């Protein structure tokens, strides 16, 4: 379910997204849990499992919930390329994000990831309530969503003025796969998260400077890439820049 995953997985846009989310997620995990603690992680809609496998390599027990059989098959393939110790820490479950309660008991996970999924859900509140239910008290919920406050940025920078003007008044948009999907506003999600008992703790912007890059734009060399990522990282933590990033990374904590 990750936006843009069938194309450009190795391109600059996805590299920036995955690296920034990894940095931010590791920062929030370190802030909440002891060094070396093995966590129970649920990754809902994991795509090709980039974050899931990264966390499994770090020693965590990871469950992936995915509804698309083709994506599950690709996940199995990626998993079998990992060492046995990593494979043993990953469980793949076929199921929909809207049915987490049917698959897992309350409080089953310390960390729940839901990245690039809410854009495909018409009503986010029931989905977030389900994710909150399977999160342990004090646990961390990591959401990556399309930023509705920035929908005019991409067409505006491309000179598509009609689309840019229309984007100010809507929360729906057509993604790079040609699908009509939904974006979220920070204020709305903050209120919803509070309502389901998982209030927002910290939020970041993701992909401000590189969102216009083509799907297959080449990744620069290591030194230039490192500077680019540092600039994106800084922007994602700094007002007013983070407010108009293409994506929002919200980290919320379930009430104890």
**Does 6 score more than 70 pLDDT?**
no
Q: How far apart are CA 25 and CA 113, in angstroms?
A: 9
What secondary structure letter does DSSP report for 3? T
The confidence score (pLDDT) of residue 187 equals 98
Q: How confident is the model at residue 104 (pLDDT cuts 50, 70, 90)?
A: very high
**Does 5 score more than 70 pLDDT?**
no
What secondary structure letter does DSSP report for 129? H
Please compute the mean of the pLDDT values over residues 201-228 and round it to a whole number.
Answer: 94
Tokens of 6: 């069938």
The confidence score (pLDDT) of residue 9 equals 53
What secondary structure letter does DSSP report for 120? G
Q: Which residue has the tokens 């996940």?
A: 75
Q: Between vectors from CA 23 to CA 107 and to CA 186, what angle results, nearest 5°?
A: 65
Tokens of 60: 């965590």
Residue pair 20/32 in contact by the 8 Å Cβ criterion: no
pLDDT by residue (tens digit) across 229-241?
999 999 999 999 9
What secondary structure letter does DSSP report for 220? P
pLDDT by residue (tens digit) across 205-218?
999 999 999 878 88
Q: How far apart are CA 146 and CA 144, in angstroms?
A: 7
């Amino acid at each position: 379910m990750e936006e843009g995953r069938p194309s450009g997985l190795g391109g600059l846009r996805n590299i920036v997204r995955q690296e920034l989310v990894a940095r931010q997620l590791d920062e929030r995990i370190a802030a909440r849990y002891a060094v070396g603690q093995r966590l129970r992680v649920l990754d809902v809609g994991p795509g090709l499992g980039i974050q899931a496998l990264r966390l499994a390599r770090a020693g965590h027990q990871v469950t992936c919930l995915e509804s698309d059989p083709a994506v599950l098959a690709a996940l199995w393939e990626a998993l079998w390329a990992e060492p046995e110790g990593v494979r043993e820490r990953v469980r793949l479950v076929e199921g929909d994000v809207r049915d987490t309660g049917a698959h897992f008991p309350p409080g089953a996970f310390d960390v729940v990831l839901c990245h690039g999924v809410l854009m495909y859900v018409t009503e986010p509140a029931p989905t977030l309530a389900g994710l909150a239910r399977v999160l342990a008290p004090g646990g961390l919920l990591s959401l990556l969503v399309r930023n509705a406050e920035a929908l005019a940025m991409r067409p505006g920078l491309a000179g598509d003025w009609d689309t840019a003007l229309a984007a100010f008044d809507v929360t729906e948009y057509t993604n790079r796969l040609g699908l009509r999907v939904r974006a979220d506003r920070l204020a709305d999600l903050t209120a919803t998260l509070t309502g389901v008992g998982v209030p927002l703790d910290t939020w970041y912007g993701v992909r401000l400077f590189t969102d216009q890059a083509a799907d297959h734009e080449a990744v620069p060399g290591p030194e230039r890439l490192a500077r680019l990522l540092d600039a994106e990282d800084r922007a994602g933590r700094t007002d007013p820049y983070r407010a108009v990033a293409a994506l929002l990374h919200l980290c919320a904590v379930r009430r104890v």
